[in-house]
Amino acid sequence: MVTPRGPGAEVRGPAEASELAALLYRELRRVAAACMRGERPNHTLQPTALVNEAYLRLAAQHQAAWGDRVQFLSVAAHLMREILVDYARTRNRAKRGGGIAPVCVEDAGELAAAPDVNLIELDEALDALERVDRQQRQIVELRYFGGLSIEETAHALGVSPATVKRDWRVARAWLHRELSRNAVHQS
Amino acid sequence: MPSTSPERHHRVKAILEAALEIPPAEQAAFVETACEGDPDLKAEALSLLKHDREAAYFLAEPVMETAHPPFRLGSGSRLGPYEIVEPLGAGAMGEVYRAHDPRFGRDVAIKLLPAAFGNDEARLARFEREARAAGSLNHPNVLTIHDFGREDGAPYLVSELLRGETLRERLKEPLSAILAVAYAQQIARGLGAAHALGIVHRDLKPENIFVARGGVVKILDFGLARLPDSPSAQEAGAHRTEAGAVLGSPGYLSPEQVRAEPAGPASDIFSLGVVLYEMLAGKRPFTGATWVEEMNATLRQEAPPLPVEMPGIADPAALNGAVQRCLAKQPNERFESARDLAFLLESLAGRAAPKQPGRGLRATLLGVAAIALLAVAGLLALSLQRAAAPPSYRRVTFRRGTVSAARFTSGGEVVYSAAWDGPEWGLYETRTSGSFAATPLGRPNAMLFAVSREDKLALCIPERQTQHGVVGALAEAPLSEGGELKRAEDVSAADWSPDGKLAAVRVTQGQSRIEYPIGAVLYKPPSASGYIDGLRVSPNGDAIAFLEHPISDDSAGWVTVVNLSDKSARRVSGRYNSMRGLAWTPDGKGVWFAAARQGTNMAIWAANRSGGLDRRVASFPFYASMEDIYKDGRVLISFHSLAASMIRVSEDGMATDLSWQDQSQVRDISPDGSILFSESGDATRQDYEAYLRGADRLSPATRLGVGLPLALSRDGRWAIANPASPAGAPAALSLLPAGPGESRQFAADGIDHLGAAWLPDGKSFVFAGIADGKSMSYYAQSIEGGPPREITPAGIRHERRSPIVVSPDGRSVAAVTNDGRIAIFPTAEGKPRTVPNLKPGFTPLQWCPDGQLVMHRYDEPQPRLWKLDPRTGAPQPWRDLAANPVGLLDLTPIRVSPDCKSYIYSPVNVLSKTYAVTGLR
């Protein structure tokens, strides 16, 4: 099967990332870390705000490099997933009494505990989905973590909105099954 | 978990997708049939079909939008003295409740901020102070704050309870233009009152503008504002995160906020402009599919004009003008205050606004207001006039090539000199009153300086190209036919006075001066290395204005006016880049000129003769020259598209175009053939950017950073550059890494740095510098810092386009001295010597391994490279430079490889179109 290579598809973390992703990643981490040290209690960890701020800072510094919004969004959506999942994990550790419960993480915890989605399980399921259909994984990231509409997602991946719509529906059913399977196993 | 392979998943997907196309009742049967004979596939497809039905709400909302915190307070609970009645809504900054205050028997609104907010005492104190300050304004257009409290660490605000809806909700239905203006007027008044207290909102948007019942508009959430004198503003590093950009909706943020720069009152005016635009047009002026695009649009795009017809608005063009002025990219180009805007909107709505409720100080305030009103009236008239009619453009030149100058004749026709299809200049006339056909006026090889009131021409018979532009003999001639009369030599610009006298810029020994009348020096620029152009005598002959460029070969500068009565000179404009052409307004009160504030965003600017702020008349995405203004207000403007290419010629004469973007210019070549070059065209945001590339056509270029690159170290790892320096400040130097590494800045220390070359050790370099009050010399400097060491006497000539030429062993440097000759100076110890027998005018380009110098003359009609043995001083032609002659302006900069086998030059071709423009004000 030939999967169209979407921009940012290869980005998994700073080690393999393009310069762009590395910058964005560092920046998001820096903002998040500042938040965790309790430096900025006025900022609840709104992911949009987080990416927003990272973009603003980077755009100011690297004006010329930011032509490709699609690449930026794809990378941002992926990194957003990593960061939110990390927060969810940290919160779990904090609940179990290990580690430190940082100030902002409570807020992020609320966020990560959005109704009926376990972000850690979703993350694992997305990894599994990646192995069978990379484009579906990307669509879920762009839609769910990046907040893109069907049309924007289609534009980002260079495919038709109808394709995104179909893939999105199948991917959702697939992920829903994976997550309910976990729920059964755990109970 | 079943181990699904991609192929299998793909098959299941295809079946499932087909199934989802048909009615739900038939889906299962379809899957059964499609998977006939493959039970595993069938099970998988059926299971996914089942989950598809269950997953209707699964991941349906993006993670960030599902993150609404639950309401923390239930109905009937208490918060301080207040009884919670019901939750009203929630946003990023907290939850809002309706509550009852039993002490006053009234209902209030309470905003409960996130608990985390309470962890930062300093921030909280600031918030409280600001909220109280804004709330205590007691202004009808600002939400009144009653109280401020804290419960379990969570701060809350108590305010008047408004009935109505936010402007966001109101905008779900279209708004009439009259109502839009009336709302905007109220918002402007509220902002004006807050700004007067030094409070900036910073996050104005329809979500925090409330339209109360009865149509009274209130600004909410002044709590996000920051007092300008709050200590946090000075906290290092805190500034950016405090800038508020993050919290604002990108669509309403001002360009300065998008760039994470500090927000001021002008930022609120911009946001109000966006809100007003949205109310009038039904959509925001800067949009994009995503916030990234929106922010880009905010930074770069002009707002599309509003509809030409708006019911109930007497002068839609004026309203459009006012909105566009709110939306100016530069804060200082917006309305000076929200109150000015409120007044203007009031007049545009075409009816008296409701009176402000009077208070104790009313009588006094009225007096003050009356004065303010008078002051504003002038501004108002100006704004209305400016927006009256859109300008119209009529092209007056039609062929391919360069226009050097264009002027109106006494009868309003257009005369211009141009080089069409090749290097020869000629004179032409376009009859704008007739057919617009261009008539050649004969006079080959003449360039136009000026046309007098009696239609006498002042012409330049070009003799040489210098860093001051084309210099030649000044001749006068009748417009129609008749002989030319030579009036002066060495002239680079000239104009007629109304009574028929000539003023001229004369260039001798590398220095410009203004003579008026010819032979009598009127003005000498203070900086000997600078030059003058755009010379124009005022309409009544009492003053001369010109563009003063402090650095040779750099079109940056300002406008100076010399009063002829007392010969006093006065700078009347700001400092600009790319200044091209100047003309007096017909009333003689000021001048218009073409220039760029930054990059290639050219504009026509109006400067007042007596000083004051410059005004932008019109802006263009092209290089423009201000040519002339006719007494009926018509304006001649030439637009130039400028392409600088970079041509490498190898040892065997093969030419390769190594241009990268639209204005590639070579700056240095390293021993391994790496090419350091600059880009300065539309692809760059700053004036110059530094790039590095290899010598073959396919090698990609790497952007090193911002700044004019000057020299590449011999190992190719570091470039020296002039970073963009603030207007008027001396140019400093920076080191840009070609690979990993941090860039480094050297302080200017009062020295203007205009060129640099590495010494072979890679640890020190030579630069051309002008110290305060001295003329130029070369200095040696270590990259480790320390004071520079002067290695030549003051009195060196160096142009930005030329390299500094160091001998291969690094012991000597070849420099042009003030008499135009070449001298050799030791970089450390030894005696300087001049190159014997060499006539002036050569510029050294490279010191070859065989000891010879490669040189160039900028003033040669047939450009070529020369070689010379510095001991004997007899130059030999070495290579001819060739380029497309159409619109060819320049072939420089030129650089020769260190082995003297190849060279690179940068032909600049300029294609011009001249327009007669009506309606510019």
Question: What CATH number is attached to the domain comprising B401?
Answer: 2.130.10.150
Q: Write down which residue in B32, B54, B76 finishes a domain.
A: B54
Q: What is the mean pLDDT of residues A101-129?
A: 58
Q: Indicate whether A1 belongs to any domain.
A: no
Q: Indicate whether A103 belongs to any domain.
A: yes
Q: Is B78 a residue whose pLDDT tops 90?
A: no
CB contact under 8 Å between B13 and A49, yes or no, is no
Are B781 and B888 part of one and the same domain?
Answer: yes
Of B491, B566, B573, B496, the residue nearest B532 (C-alpha): B491
Question: What CATH number is attached to the domain comprising A129?
Answer: 1.10.10.10
Separation of alpha carbons B406 and B450, rounded Å: 8
Containing structural domain, residue A157:
115-187
Q: Indicate whether A142 belongs to any domain.
A: yes
Q: Residue B837, exposed/middle/buried by CB under 10 A (0-12, 13-18, 19+)?
A: exposed
Q: Indicate whether A44 belongs to any domain.
A: yes
CB contact under 8 Å between A155 and B289, yes or no, is yes
**With bands split at pLDDT 50, 70 and 90, how would you rate the model's confidence at B287?**
confident
| A142 CB within 8 Å of a chain B CB | no
What pLDDT is attached to residue A24?
59
Are B32 and B172 part of one and the same domain?
Answer: no
Are A88 and A133 part of one and the same domain?
Answer: no
Q: Is B804 a residue whose pLDDT tops 90?
A: yes
Q: List the catalytic residue out of B120, B152, B203, B668.
A: B203
Separation of alpha carbons B312 and B318, rounded Å: 13
Q: Write down which residue in A63, A86, A114 finishes a domain.
A: A114
CB contact under 8 Å between B6 and A132, yes or no, is yes
The beta-carbon neighbor of B292 closest among A1, A34, A73 is: A73
Q: Is B744 a residue whose pLDDT tops 50?
A: yes
Are B234 and B299 part of one and the same domain?
Answer: yes
Are B617 and B707 part of one and the same domain?
Answer: no
Q: Which of A78-92, B198-212, B610-624, B682-696 has the highest mean pLDDT?
A: B198-212
The beta-carbon neighbor of A169 closest among B20, B66, B116 is: B20
CB contact under 8 Å between B246 and A180, yes or no, is no
Q: Indicate whether A21 belongs to any domain.
A: yes
Are A20 and A34 part of one and the same domain?
Answer: yes
Q: What is the pLDDT of residues B873-912, one digit of tens each?
A: 889 999 988 777 777 777 888 999 999 999 999 888 788 8
**With bands split at pLDDT 50, 70 and 90, how would you rate the model's confidence at B728?**
low
Are A98 and A119 part of one and the same domain?
Answer: no
Q: Is B128 a residue whose pLDDT tops 80?
A: no
Q: Indicate whether B258 belongs to any domain.
A: yes
Are A153 and A181 part of one and the same domain?
Answer: yes
Are B186 and B247 part of one and the same domain?
Answer: yes
Of B388, B392, B391, the residue nearest B316 (C-alpha): B388
DSSP B49-67: HHHHHHTTTTT-S-TTTT-
Interface probe, candidates A52, A72, A83, A134, chain B, greatest B C-beta count within 10 A: A52
ipTM over 0.90: no
Q: Is B676 a residue whose pLDDT tops 90?
A: yes
Q: Indicate whether A55 belongs to any domain.
A: yes
Q: What is the pLDDT of residues B301-323, one digit of tens each?
A: 888 888 877 887 878 888 988 99
| B49 CB within 8 Å of a chain A CB | yes
Active site annotation includes B657: no
Calculate ∠ Cα B246-B248-B254, nearest 5°. Answer: 105
Q: What is the pLDDT of residues B190-218, one digit of tens each?
A: 999 888 888 888 888 898 898 887 778 99
The beta-carbon neighbor of B246 closest among A52, A114, A117 is: A52
Largest CA distance in chain B: 106
Q: Which chain A residue lies closest to B293 (C-alpha atoms)? A: A69
List the structure tokens of B765.
């370099």
Q: What is the pLDDT of residues B835-878, one digit of tens each?
A: 888 888 899 999 999 999 999 987 776 789 999 998 888 899 99
- Cis omega (within 30 of 0) for bond into B305: no
Are A79 and A158 part of one and the same domain?
Answer: no
Q: Is B380 a residue whose pLDDT tops 50?
A: no
Question: What CATH number is attached to the domain comprising B365?
Answer: 1.10.510.10
Q: What is the pLDDT of residues B597-638, one digit of tens each?
A: 765 568 899 998 877 778 888 888 778 899 999 998 899 999
Total count of domains within chain B? 4
Q: Indicate whether A41 belongs to any domain.
A: yes
| A173 CB within 8 Å of a chain B CB | yes
What pLDDT is attached to residue A88?
66
**With bands split at pLDDT 50, 70 and 90, how would you rate the model's confidence at B388?**
very low
**Which residues from chain B sit within 8 angstroms of residue A170, using beta carbons?**
13, 16-17, 48, 52
Total count of domains within chain A? 2
Q: What is the pLDDT of residues B138-155, one digit of tens each?
A: 788 888 888 888 777 677
| A15 CB within 8 Å of a chain B CB | no
Q: Indicate whether A6 belongs to any domain.
A: no
Are A138 and A176 part of one and the same domain?
Answer: yes
Are B366 and B413 part of one and the same domain?
Answer: no
Are A39 and A98 part of one and the same domain?
Answer: yes
Are A120 and A102 part of one and the same domain?
Answer: no
Are B423 and B555 part of one and the same domain?
Answer: yes
Q: Indicate whether B113 belongs to any domain.
A: no
Question: Which has the higher per-residue pLDDT, A120 or B167?
Answer: B167
For residue B77, give Cα distances in angstroms to B22, B74, B82, B149, B653: 52, 6, 9, 16, 89
Containing structural domain, residue B10:
6-54
What pLDDT is attached to residue A106?
31
Are B668 and B637 part of one and the same domain?
Answer: no
**Which residues from chain A sit within 8 angstroms of residue B59, using beta carbons?**
117, 140, 143-144, 172, 175
Q: What is the mean pLDDT of residues B241-262?
A: 60
Q: Write down which residue in B358, B386, B414 finishes a domain.
A: B386
Are B208 and B254 part of one and the same domain?
Answer: yes
What pLDDT is attached to residue A22?
54
Are B435 and B485 part of one and the same domain?
Answer: yes
Q: Mean of the per-residue pLDDT values for chain B?
A: 82
Lowest mean pLDDT among A96-110, B42-56, B406-420, B545-559: A96-110
Are A108 and A122 part of one and the same domain?
Answer: no
What pLDDT is attached to residue B768?
93
**Which residues from chain A sit within 8 angstroms of residue B236, using beta carbons?**
none
Q: Write down which residue in A114, A144, A170 finishes a domain.
A: A114
CB contact under 8 Å between B4 and A46, yes or no, is no
Q: Is B73 a residue whose pLDDT tops 80?
A: no
Are B794 and B874 part of one and the same domain?
Answer: yes
**Which residues from chain B sit within 8 angstroms of residue A167, using beta carbons?**
13
Are B372 and B520 part of one and the same domain?
Answer: no
| A52 CB within 8 Å of a chain B CB | yes
Lowest mean pLDDT among A15-24, B114-123, B702-711: A15-24
CB contact under 8 Å between B293 and A69, yes or no, is yes
Q: Which chain B residue lies closest to A47 (C-alpha atoms)? A: B64
Q: Write down which residue in A87, A114, A141 finishes a domain.
A: A114
Q: Indicate whether B59 belongs to any domain.
A: no
Q: Indicate whether B82 belongs to any domain.
A: no
Q: What is the pLDDT of residues B747-776, one digit of tens each?
A: 888 888 889 999 999 899 999 998 877 788
The beta-carbon neighbor of B5 closest among A53, A119, A132 is: A132
